[in-house]
Structure 1
Amino acid sequence: MWISAVVAAGVLLSGCGAGPAPAEPDASARPISTGGGIIPEPFAAVLATVDEHARDRHDRVEAETVRCMAAQGFTYTPLPFWQREQRFQRFGDIEHASRYGFGLSPEEDRRGRQDSLPDDTAKLSSQEKEAWFRALLGDMDSPNRIRIEHRDGSVSEGPGEGCDIESQQALYGDYRAWRVAQVSFEELDHLVRQGTDSDPAWQRALADWRSCMTDAGYARYATDSRVEASELLSEEHRRGRVYEPDTVVPVDPADAKHEREVAVASATCEKKLGMADTYARVQAVHEKKVSETEQGVITGYLELVVTGTAKAGGEVEASPSTA
């Protein structure tokens, strides 16, 4: 039954009464298999449930938007489904580093995926265009716009009416509640990563990595993290040139070769030091901590996902990894 997704959340949160997690991971603990250096995202069980019927939910929302816009006399071309992009840490993956470096030279330019769609407002007058956008997104000055307060004190704002919102309400019910739940859950990922990156055990691993990179002749890139090393390489690629936002920086073949060399050196050090297992083990500790303190956020978000999936005609089964 579709409600089994909530059971998945319960499994993810199990063990909450076992007492507080240790301040640091036990170095003698059984290593966590990382599949060749790929560290899974936090809350993988929840994300798997979210992704399982994502296309069904997307298609239902877009169909509702088409219907809503047509009722107001407008044409709306539904957006294609794009799978949520996975974010993975890669530590010690020498083969991947030798092929792709730090990923600064994209295999393909993904710009313009949405820009390539037909412009439904191309033949409309300026007044008609304004009416089209108002029908889709509501009045920008409306008091019904949704304001979300984030953990860091910042506030984001978005439409609270219009066909885009009505179509999602048809799926999720109270759209405000859905959006707040979604943002709150996404912020848990940040909490886990923040805790993991600042953990003493991981900081010691980074110190060892910097020493290894220095010994390998890449002291310039022995920064606070491999991410900063890649950012330094990116700055070198630019050579002071300024590019428009969302444009791909062209990479000279010599730069790409150098990037791969640095990335391989980094991956070699990471593999030698067992950094993939260290990061996965530390992340698991902080994921558990966040899960224990944020049960309501996780369960509330999953319940809304399950509701939307059921309305879209899908069924969510608990996967073997969460059942």
Structure 2
Amino acid sequence: MPVRVYAAHAAAVGAVLAATALTGCGSPEQDNSRRLRELTPMEQAFVERAEEQLIESCMESKGFRYWPARVDSAEERQGGGYVQHDVAWARKYGYEREFDVQAERARRADRNTAYARALTQPELVRYNTALDGSPDDGLMSVDLPGGGTVRTTTGGCRATVADRLYGDFPAWFRAQKIARNLSAVYVPVLVQDTRFKRAVGAWARCMNKAGHPYDTPLAIRAALPRLTRDTGRAAARALEVELAVAEATCARSTPLFRTARSLDREYRREKLAPYRADITSYRRMNLTALAHAKAVMGPRSHRPARPLSSPEENHKKGTYP
């Protein structure tokens, strides 16, 4: 945000602050157990890989093939947000555009999509029901802190695996949706704080001195497609890294990162007390999932994929672990 702050940017600010939000000192979600910490990016990726492998096993038990989906790496989870603040990370990854390319390649090469397309209509209905359940299995809904409602079925392999990993799928669904959507509760107020506006102004002056006249970090991201449109890949990459490093350097050499982190903790203490139980549950169930993931990950994670086959060619191989 510039010296002039737009409320529409609130969600983007919340994204970068989220890295410190759930672990901030003195925040309302810190209950009487210091063991209820947030998972590290590497641990989060590990749990999601275990989840995908368990979905594969569950789908096999129902007579279908499933290939574990691509999971964001720990490095990908450390980037993004409103402002780059890790100079070394920025120098190595720029603005994560290579991650975007990898994700798009994985999406286009998704074997599950090709498999589903090859099914007959009745098979596809059974496949979708096996994976995601149906309204007949039951529905649950959660009202989000910032408004709106999300719903899900309580059946299918995704729900079954989540129940296995996190201990209670309905409770996990509620806690996750609330804990991951808290920025709407306090960020709109935070970005109007004079201290935040001054910090963004200092960052903009630092960038201008470095030869990059941008009022906000968001302005850089908006300009990148235009700046790199007619350049080769190497030149585009070099420019991206140059801007990302400058952005992170200025975030660290001016009060921006420190102020944003401090205000994040301050406003979370003030605004998020009503969500204490949900945040505590979210952290506790994440740690439960980590312990369960460690128990189920092993030789299966290195098992080679088998040739594509139809549901009729598959047969159940044992019980769901």
* TM-score normalised according to structure 2 size: 0.62
CA-CA distance at 1:203 after TM superposition: 0.9
Q: Any residues of structure 2 matched to 1:73-222 within 5 Å, and which?
A: 73-79=63-69, 82-83=72-73, 85-88=76-79, 89-91=83-85, 93=87, 100-104=93-97, 109-113=102-106, 116=109, 118-119=111-112, 120-121=115-116, 124-139=119-134, 142=136, 144-189=138-183, 191=185, 194=188, 196-219=190-213, 221-222=214-215
1:43 matches 2:22: yes
Change in 2 beyond 3 A, CA 1:138/1:277 = closer
Q: Any residues of structure 2 matched to 1:273-312 within 5 Å, and which?
A: 273-290=254-271, 292-309=273-290
CA-CA distance at 1:298 after TM superposition: 1.6
CA-CA distance at 1:181 after TM superposition: 0.7
Q: Partners of 1:86 and 1:145 in 2: how far apart? A: 30
1:72 matches 2:67: no
Q: Partners of 1:169 and 1:54 in 2: how far apart? A: 18
- Match for 1:59 among 50, 54, 74? 50
Q: Partners of 2:209 and 2:59 in 1: how far apart? A: 63
**Does the residue aligned with 2:278 lie in a helix, a strand or coil?**
helix
Q: Partners of 1:106 and 1:54 in 2: how far apart? A: 15
Question: How large is the Cα RMSD of the aligned pairs?
Answer: 4.0
Question: Would the aligned equivalents of 2:48 and 2:71 in 1 still touch at CA under 8 Å?
Answer: no
Gaps of 5+ in 1: 1-37, 240-249, 315-323
Q: Partners of 1:143 and 1:39 in 2: how far apart? A: 34
Q: Partners of 1:109 and 1:283 in 2: how far apart? A: 32
Question: Would the aligned equivalents of 1:42 and 1:192 in 2 still touch at CA under 8 Å?
Answer: no
Q: Partners of 2:133 and 2:18 in 1: how far apart? A: 41
**Does the residue aligned with 1:147 lie in a helix, a strand or coil?**
strand
Question: Would the aligned equivalents of 2:145 and 2:184 in 1 still touch at CA under 8 Å?
Answer: no
The aligned length equals 261
Q: Partners of 1:157 and 1:172 in 2: how far apart? A: 18
Question: Would the aligned equivalents of 1:92 and 1:269 in 2 still touch at CA under 8 Å?
Answer: no
Q: Partners of 2:46 and 2:220 in 1: how far apart? A: 36
* TM-score normalised according to structure 1 size: 0.62
CA-CA distance at 1:183 after TM superposition: 0.9
Q: Partners of 2:150 and 2:99 in 1: how far apart? A: 30
Gaps of 5+ in 2: 1-16, 24-35, 296-321
